[in-house]
Amino acid sequence: MHVDAGDTAWVLGSAALVLFMTPGLALFYGGMVRSKHVLAMMVQNLGTIAVVSVVWTLLAYSLAFGPDAGGGFIGTLHLAGLAHPSAQVPGFNLTVPPLAFATFQMMFAVITAALLTGTGADRMRFDGFLVFASIWVLVVYAPIAHWVFSPEGWLFKRGVLDFAGGNVVEIDSGASALALALVLGRRRGWPRDVMAPHSLPLTVLGAGILWFGWFGFNAGSALAANGAAAQAMVSTQLAACTGLLGWLVVERWRTGHATTLGAASGAVAGLVAITPAAGYVNAMAALLIGLLGGITGVLAVAVKFRFRYDDSLDVVGVHGACGVVGTLLLGVLAMHGAGAHLLGEQALAVIVTIAWAFTLTYLIATAVQRTVGLRVSPEVEVEGLDTAIHAESAYDLGNVRAGRMG
């Protein structure tokens, strides 16, 4: 196979950009929880990087991108352990080394699993979540990645378009988050008690890192340093901006205030919405998709109060809802092939992804809850996960502390 130096440099750099999104997510989410749970949120994200990268290497990459086992449903274990690194990835015509592609896609699996920490904020066990995430990547993420991203996948073959993971990352994590929230149950005191973010500056920093990393996520998904990458780059920036503006305008209209958290959330909502479309739409369409993403996000985060499920940091509202909006809009706004047929295929992908992710996540989470345990005890939840599970405090602001033992 032919390896292009420019393409390879871009994909390798993009892989690092996408990795950086998960520590960014730790800050984004960490700022939104109460100060007694912030370290638990961060270490769940760091732990996710570690376990998902290992599981990806051992099995999940091959299930997602290995030679199709039949019907476009799942890959075989031919590439398990990242075997056969010099052979072309099945179905692709890559100009980058397969290991560059495998590493880039590894970071996608990491961030998608990490998104689920947001729905389980303040009440999820560290060990239980890592077990859950390991199984989830194999059973939920890898098949959906195979269907949509692998040219041998059944949705790919039907013509479904997903440039950088509107289905595979956003709708997948949103639907999974809903199932996880239902299995975990509501936080004690929600929605009556005040559970305000403890540090929005951390959240803004995290949103900035996500925004930055998203250039690798979207423009890197061109898998080459070419025009599609440039198209995705500009789409990404424009949608983040109109997403931010759309969220703030609606928020100002509904509550009377344009908030910092709204700006950070709106940018992410716009980025989510453009993810499936980034390299497939022109700049004007990107402006519109981002705007509708931001508006969708600010309206969707209110739904959980109506239906009383505690999706704590709005993974369903932001990633699920805005992912659906972007995926469907692509059906009518794509530069090539837009129309009723494409819209129908996009809708099929949305429905299948939601059904698979929701059902399997519900089963995995229930199984982990009944064996390892997924939800902490009420005492731990009240004390705070940081001191109770991890024996640490994020902020040592006073000087009245206990002495050292032993």
Partner 1 sequence: MKLITAIVKPFVLEDVKGALEQIGVLGMTVSEVQGYGRQKGHTEVYRGAEYTVDFVPKVRLDVVVADDDAADVVDVIVKSAATGQIGDGKVWSTPVDELVRVRTGERGPDAL
SS3 75: strand
Q: Select the residue interacting with partner 1 from 6, 159, 191, 373 (CB under 8 A).
A: 191
Among 196, 283, 332, 348, binds partner 1 (CB under 8 A): 196
CB of 12 to partner 1, least distance (A): 36
* Shortest Å, Cβ 389 to partner 1: 25
Among 249, 261, 343, 367, binds partner 1 (CB under 8 A): 261
Residues 97-156 that bind partner 1 (CB under 8 A): none
DSSP string, 76-128: -STTGGG--TTSPPTT---SS-HHHHHHHHHHHHHHHHHHGGGTTTTTB-HHH
Size of interface with partner 1, in residues (CB under 8 A): 17
Question: Interface with partner 1 includes 320 (CB under 8 A)?
Answer: no
What is the smallest separation between the CB atom of 311 and partner 1, expressed in angstroms? 11
Give the 3-state DSSP-derived string for 343-365, with helices as H, strands as E and coil as C: HHHHHHHHHHHHHHHHHHHHHHH
| Minimum CB distance to partner 1 smaller for 254 or for 341 | 254
Site string for partner 1, 226-255 (x = CB under 8 A): -------------------------x--xx
Coarse DSSP helix, strand, coil percentages of the chain, rounded to the nearest 5 percent: 70, 0, 30
Q: How far apart are CA 217 and CA 219, in angstroms?
A: 6
Alpha-carbon gap, residue 16 to 20, rounded angstroms: 6
Concatenating the DSSP letter of every residue in 242-262 gives HHHHHHHHHHHHHHS---HHH
Please report how close the Cβ of residue 44 comes to partner 1 at its closest, in angstroms: 21
Cβ nearer to partner 1, comparing 299 with 367: 299
d(CA 374, CA 389): 13
Considering only 49-57, 260-268, 363-371, 376-384, which stretch makes contact with partner 1 by CB under 8 A? 260-268
Least distance to partner 1 from the beta carbon of 301, Å? 5
Per DSSP, what are the bridge partners of residue 68?
75
CB of 7 or CB of 311, closer to partner 1? 311
DSSP state letters, 272-300 = HHHTTTTTTS-HHHHHHHHHHHHHHHHHH
CA distance 110 to 107: 5
382 in contact with partner 1 (CB under 8 A): no
- Which of 85, 305, 335, 382 touches partner 1 by CB under 8 A? 305
Residue 194 is a binding residue for partner 1 (CB under 8 A): yes
**In the complex, what is the shortest distance from the CB of residue 22 to partner 1, in angstroms, rounded to a whole number?**
22
Sequence-ordered list of residues with C-beta below 8 angstroms from that of 13, at least 6 positions apart, any chain:
216, 220
Looking at residues 273 to 302 of the shown chain, list those that interact with partner 1 (rule: CB under 8 A). Answer: 298, 301-302
**Residue 167 per-residue DSSP state:** I
Distance CA 170, CA 316 (A): 9
Where on the chain is the footprint of partner 1 (CB under 8 A)? Answer: 191, 194, 196-197, 251, 254-255, 257, 259, 261-262, 265, 298, 301-302, 305, 314
